[in-house]
Amino acid sequence: MVDIIAAFLMAIFQGVIEWLPISSEGQLSLFFVNLYGMDELEAVTLALLLHLGTMLSVLWVFRSDFREMVDIKAKITEVTIITTLGTAVTAIPIVLVFKTYWTPLTDSFPIPPDILFTLFVGILLILTGLILINQPEQGTRELNSITQREAFLLGMAQGIAALPGISRSGMTITILLIIGLTQRDALRVSFIVSVPAVLGATVLEFFLSGFTIYVDALRIGDIIFPYILLILTILMTAIVGVFTMRSLLQLKSIPYDKFCISFGIGTILLAILLFIIQVVI
């Protein structure tokens, strides 16, 4: 069962790093695996659940855009729907393969699963950073200029971030900057298209892991989350997320590649340190 201290730390952590290109899912999973001793798949499940809080942040900050979506003909509606379809094309197979083969694969490795998972996240973070390193300078296009083909490509890039360690925000913002959007509109679109992706991923995770509704708690797989603690954690995550998001929208440029590569190297060094400690002990 998750305690209040862990919930408090998770809320702050998720509320800040969700918008940075360092894979909040990967970083939170590492937190649960290395500090709480969780199974890797359970950690990914719990990290995904916390995305509901940052989803609320997006709904609040961009509430006028979501009100506009009532009009099915609105451009933002079209972009979001097509992006979501593209996300499903890549994300669903990745999630199914990861959940099916991760445990059998790690059982055959001489390296402990938690250290292997840490290395895996670190390598994917560096890979994301290398992709981002060639991101273009500020573009001039606006949201209304996005084509259906570009929206679908954006969704496919977002779906790849189903792997813990691949940054969703980093992937989507890079694609949007490559096609020439201004950074502000790239951030705006990236935030908005995350909402259906998070909802879809949460529903898929519930069915894959199995869930049980108790009188006072929700059980997902082997994780038990009391309702009061769950609600407080999600709300706290949302509040922190709103402040972080608004701060990022004020920045003129963000060094996404440096964030990813730095965190990736740090994560790999952590894995090596943990391995040395386990060998010595």
Percent of the chain exceeding pLDDT 70 equals 89
- Tokens representing residue 111 in the block: 């390296």
Lowest mean pLDDT among 5-19, 23-37, 45-59, 79-93: 23-37
Identify the burial level of 69 via C-beta atoms within 10 angstroms of its C-beta, where 0-12 means exposed, 13-18 middle and 19 or more buried.
middle
Which single residue is written with the structure tokens 């797989």? Answer: 221
- Convert the pLDDT of each residue in 61-91 to its tens digit: 888 888 887 777 788 899 999 999 999 999 9
How much is the average pLDDT of 160-174? 81
Of 118 and 153, the one with more pLDDT: 153
Name the band, by pLDDT with cuts 50, 70 and 90, for residue 253.
low
- Domains of the chain, by residue range, sit at 4-280
CA distance 148 to 169: 20
> What residues have CB less than 8 Å from 166, skipping those under 6 apart?
23, 26, 124, 127, 128, 160
Mean pLDDT over the full length of the chain: 81
Q: What is the mean pLDDT of residues 162-180?
A: 82
Neighbours of 134 (CB within 10 A): 9
